[in-house]
Amino acid sequence: MDESIKMPLAKVGTSIGTAAVVKAEEIKNAAENTLVSADFFTLSWSNVAAALAAAYTLSMLIEFWWKKFWRPFLIRKGWLQLETRIVLTEEEMAEVERRRRVRERDTVL
């Protein structure tokens, strides 16, 4: 068997060239990723506004899902109680107001 390497300089040059191209692509990708992450963590008004807009949108979505899906589901399951609303007559409202005025008068003295 002939174990001699034919065209060794061409093979070495090709392997080194390929490695250099691959390394250059890796360096380019790393530089682009670094620029993107550096821009993301740079404190500017546009980044602050984007973060606040994202937080506000997230809070609106959470509120929507809570009111439309999660809360009714939890009430149906019995894990959450339905809010009871108090309905007062005019006499009861007058009594509440009278007690409030008496309490305010007593705290002033």
Where are the chain's structural domains?
1-42, 59-109
pLDDT tens, position by position, 45-70: 877 888 889 999 999 999 999 999 99
The pLDDT value recorded for residue 73 is 92
The pLDDT value recorded for residue 39 is 59
Under 8 Å between Cβ of 31 and 37: no
Under 8 Å between Cβ of 11 and 5: yes
Which residues in the chain come in under a pLDDT of 50? 1
The pLDDT value recorded for residue 86 is 85
Under 8 Å between Cβ of 71 and 80: yes
The distance of Cα 91 from the centroid of its chain, to the nearest Å, equals: 50
The pLDDT value recorded for residue 15 is 63
The pLDDT value recorded for residue 1 is 47
- Of 98, 82, 78, 100, nearest to 90 by C-alpha is 98
The pLDDT value recorded for residue 36 is 56
The pLDDT value recorded for residue 31 is 63
